[in-house]
């Protein structure tokens, strides 16, 4: 039987989503869903122009590594191996979440109790059974691909055989998708708040690492962060990935994607991800960075 804290958390999430997804739209937001105008345009730049230290560090690391950093206020996306495809593992749960929230909004309804619990478990706890159910209920690869087309994002390939963890994406595509999320081009305003809130409330302790590395444990007022991690051991080595957003109080918000495949160990991949994240957060967050 679920614990009382879990029951309370699920009940609160259901109530929150009901309010978010059925709230009336203000006149200034008469179009609650983003239309397929694909408004966000970002020019490309090499990661070394943002952080030479991060680029130098990556040159010393084993395996396949890619980075995408989107800064919408600057209209730029910094990448290395930006158009290389990587296996995603549990990072694939992010587009599953966005697809579900978009479909629910398109249908003009609230999440069901079961959907709300699965969505919370999939993101906050990285529950794979919940991801299986939501992958199937959203239409699997076809449903997610349709959503990605609707927001003008290419470079993310949901697995056609139904193994969501084997889905692939480029760092640039994921950084752009998350940039569209924080800019309001990926979901309705209610869905946007729900997605950002879920990514900002990771409950499982083993999921609290990655792109937020180096940021203060006690964030200043007005700062918001969110992330989703994923890892998997494959025959050719570990997949160790982290994606997320950082919205500092006194600097431009940005999205950060670090994907690694063929890593010699899980710990090695985490070290790579978090070292790069610290160097990038040092450049962009305007916050004191922990060593």
* H/E element, 243: strand 237-247
For residue 252, the model assigns a pLDDT of 95
Query: What share of the chain has pLDDT > 70, as a percent?
Result: 86
Judged by average pLDDT, the poorest of 37-41, 74-78, 166-170, 220-224 is: 37-41
3-state helix, strand, coil in the chain (%, to 5): 45, 20, 35
For residue 29, the model assigns a pLDDT of 34
Q: Measured between alpha carbons, how far is 287 from 215 in angstroms, rounded to an integer?
A: 7
- pLDDT over threshold 80, residue 264: yes
> In this structure, how many other beta carbons lie within 10 angstroms of the beta carbon of residue 102?
24
- pLDDT over threshold 80, residue 46: yes
- pLDDT over threshold 50, residue 21: no
- pLDDT over threshold 70, residue 38: no
Please, what is the average pLDDT of the chain? Answer: 89
Sorted by where each starts, the structural domains of the chain and their CATH numbers stand as 43-284 (3.40.710.10)
- pLDDT over threshold 50, residue 41: yes
For residue 19, the model assigns a pLDDT of 53
- How would residue 161 be classed by pLDDT, with cut points 50, 70 and 90? very high
- Output the six-digit token pair for 138: 């959203």
- pLDDT over threshold 90, residue 199: yes
- pLDDT over threshold 70, residue 26: no
- pLDDT over threshold 60, residue 11: no
- How would residue 207 be classed by pLDDT, with cut points 50, 70 and 90? confident
Q: Measured between alpha carbons, how far is 32 from 156 in angstroms, rounded to an integer?
A: 25
Planar angle of CA 28, 37, 184, nearest 5 degrees: 50
The whole-number average pLDDT for the span 63-84 is 98
For residue 237, the model assigns a pLDDT of 97
- pLDDT over threshold 80, residue 153: yes
């Amino acid at each position: 039987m679920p614990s009382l804290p879990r029951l309370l958390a699920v009940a609160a999430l259901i109530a929150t989503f009901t309010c978010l997804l059925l709230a009336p739209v203000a006149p200034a937001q008469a179009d609650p869903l983003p239309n397929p105008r694909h408004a966000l345009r970002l020019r490309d730049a090499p990661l070394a122009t943002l952080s030479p230290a991060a680029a130098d560090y990556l040159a010393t690391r084993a395996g396949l590594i890619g980075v995408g950093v989107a800064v919408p206020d600057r209209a730029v996306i910094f990448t290395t191996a930006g158009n290389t495809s990587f296996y995603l593992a549990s990072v694939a749960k992010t587009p599953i979440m966005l697809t579900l929230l978009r479909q629910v909004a398109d249908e003009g309804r609230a999440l069901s109790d079961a959907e709300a619990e699965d969505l919370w478990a999939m993101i906050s706890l990285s529950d794979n059974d919940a991801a299986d159910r939501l992958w199937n209920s959203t239409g699997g690869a076809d449903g997610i691909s349709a959503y990605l087309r609707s927001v003008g994002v290419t470079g993310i390939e949901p697995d056609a055989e139904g193994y969501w963890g084997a889905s692939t994406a480029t760092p640039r595509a994921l950084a752009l998708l998350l940039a569209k999320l924080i800019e309001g081009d990926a979901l309705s305003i209610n869905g946007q708040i729900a997605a950002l809130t879920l990514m900002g409330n990771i409950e499982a302790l083993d999921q609290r690492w990655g792109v937020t590395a180096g940021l203060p444990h006690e964030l200043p007022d007005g700062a918001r962060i969110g992330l989703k991690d994923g890892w998997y051991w494959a025959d050719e080595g570990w997949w160790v990935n982290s994606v997320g957003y950082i919205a500092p109080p006194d600097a431009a918000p940005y999205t950060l994607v670090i994907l690694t495949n063929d890593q010699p160990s899980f710990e090695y991949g985490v070290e790579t991800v978090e070292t790069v994240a610290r160097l990038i957060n040092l450049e962009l967050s305007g916050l004191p960075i922990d060593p």
